[in-house]
Amino acid sequence: MYCEKCGVKLEEEAKFCLKCGAPVAPAGPESFQTLSKPKRKRSKAPIIIAIVVGVVPIFGILASIFLVSLGGAREAARDAAREADMHIIVVAQEMYYGDNGVYYTSIGYPSIIGDYLTEAPRDPGNNTYIWVNNTGDPQKFCVYVALEKKKGYYTASHNGNFECSDTIPTLDNCCFHY
């Protein structure tokens, strides 16, 4: 005979379980359960395994679709940062021009522009900001960068900021649109 509550084997004449203190039902047809071992509760492991095997891959697929869709947003964000950097360069150059009557000149991309830009901006991705040599004509300047999302170039020049896709910018034609 076994305790209905805790499943411990009981003495034949026991009236209470020595382990849990539960009263023991008298033997007879109405207490059939006391004659055999109590049933164990069904394990929830198969349900948990089914959820893990079925639901987790779905979340993985949805997450990968979401991350791939963010790629375009990242490219657009880097392009926006590039455009903001080009605006900063134009402002610094105009301030330099206002004080000196010429634009800052350099053979390559400078690390500073006088006291007006103490640290030149760097590309947020893997592109490079390209400074067109303006040492031969300090009345002009052209800086450009390749865009990722829009495909083309964004420029900073003595005529302002421009976007173009057809030609590589030069000092004489820094993507000007007249």
pLDDT by residue for the chain (178 residues), tens only, comes to 788 888 888 888 888 888 888 888 766 555 444 455 666 677 777 777 877 777 777 877 887 777 766 668 888 999 999 999 999 999 999 999 999 999 999 999 999 998 999 999 999 998 999 999 999 999 999 999 999 988 899 999 999 999 988 788 999 999 876 4
Domain chopping of the chain, boundaries = 1-40, 79-164
**Residue 58: phi, psi to the nearest 5?**
-65, -45
Edge-first strand listing for the sheet containing 152-157: 130-131, 142-147, 152-157, 160-164
Q: Give the model confidence (pLDDT) of 1-20 as tens digits.
A: 788 888 888 888 888 888 88
Beta bridge partners, 39, equal none
Identify any residues that bridge with 130 across adjacent strands, giving them in sequence order. Answer: 144
pTM, two decimals, is 0.61
- Around 44, how many Cα atoms within 13 Å sit in the side-chain half-sphere? 3
What is the three-class DSSP state of 96? helix
- Can you read off the two tokens belonging to residue 10? 């009981």
